[in-house]
Amino acid sequence: MAPALVSRLILASASPRRKELLAQLGVDFDVIRAEVIEYEAADADPREMVRHNAALKADWVAARHPQATVIGADTTVFVDQTVLNKPKDGAEARAMLRLLSGRSHTVFTGLAIRRACDGLSVDRGVASEVTFKRIDDAVIELYLSRVHTLDKAGGYAIQEENELIVAGFTGSLTNIVGLPLDEMKQILTQAGLTR
C-alpha cells in the first residue's frame, strides 16, 4: 500500500529517470519543470553547484505552489577537478567518455525539499563513486549508438548498456541515475511528508 502524503508532492524536474525513480517509492506526485537557468561551470565546486541548482528548481516551483511539497534535484559528474555536465553534442560526449575511460569519478546529487506555506526547507548532498573500464573509440561509438547521452551528466547512463563501460561502483546506484532513493525516503519521512 502506498504511503499517504500529507500534502501534494511535486517533482521539479523534467527528467524521465527521476520520475521513474520517485515512482518506485510508491507516492503520488506531479511533475512541474522549473523554468530556471542552472549554474553549470566546469570549474565549479560540484557539491555546491548541485545543491544550488536543486534549490533553484525547488524554490521556483514552491513559489508558484505554496501548499505543495516540492522536490528539486541536480546531478553532475566530477573528475580531474572538472565538472562534467550534460554534453552539448556528440563530440563532447565522446570526449567525456574518453576522459572517464579506465578511471574512477564521483557522481554528486543535490536534493532540495521546499514547502512555502510553512517554510519547510531541507537540503542534502549525496556522492557515489563509479569506475569505468578501459574503453576504446570502437566501444565509445557502440555505446553512443545505443544510448542517448546528451541529456545525461558525464555523457553516460549507468542504467543503460553499463556492461560496455562500467567496471563497478560504490554508494547509491539511484544517486548515479539521478535521484538517491534511500535519502529521498528518509527526507520525506523526517519532514513528516508520509505517514
CB of 130 within 8 A of CB of 166?
A: yes
**49 in any annotated domain:** yes
* Domain hosting residue 85, numbered range: 9-190
In a domain, 76, yes or no: yes
Position 74 in a domain: yes
- What's the confidence (pLDDT) of residue 191? 73
Residue 102 falls inside a structural domain: yes
Q: Is 4 part of a structural domain of the chain?
A: no
**Calpha distance 54→36 (Å, rounded):** 11
Contact 130, 176 (CB under 8 A): yes
CA-nearest of 130, 106, 90, 118 to 50 is: 106
- Give 13-59 pLDDT, tens digit per residue: 989 999 999 999 999 999 999 999 999 888 889 999 999 999 999 99
Q: Can you state the percent helix, strand and coil of the chain, rounding each to 5?
A: 35, 25, 40
Q: Give tens-digit pLDDT for 137-177.
A: 999 999 999 999 998 999 999 999 999 999 999 999 999 99
For the entire predicted model, the pTM comes to 0.91
Is the residue at 95 inside a domain? yes
Note whether residue 3 is domain-resident.
no
Active site residues: 74
Whether 2 maps to a domain, the answer reads no
**Residue 75, CA atoms < 13 Å, CB-side half-sphere:** 26
Residue 167's CATH number: 3.90.950.10
Cross-strand pairs, 65: none
Number of domains in the chain: 1
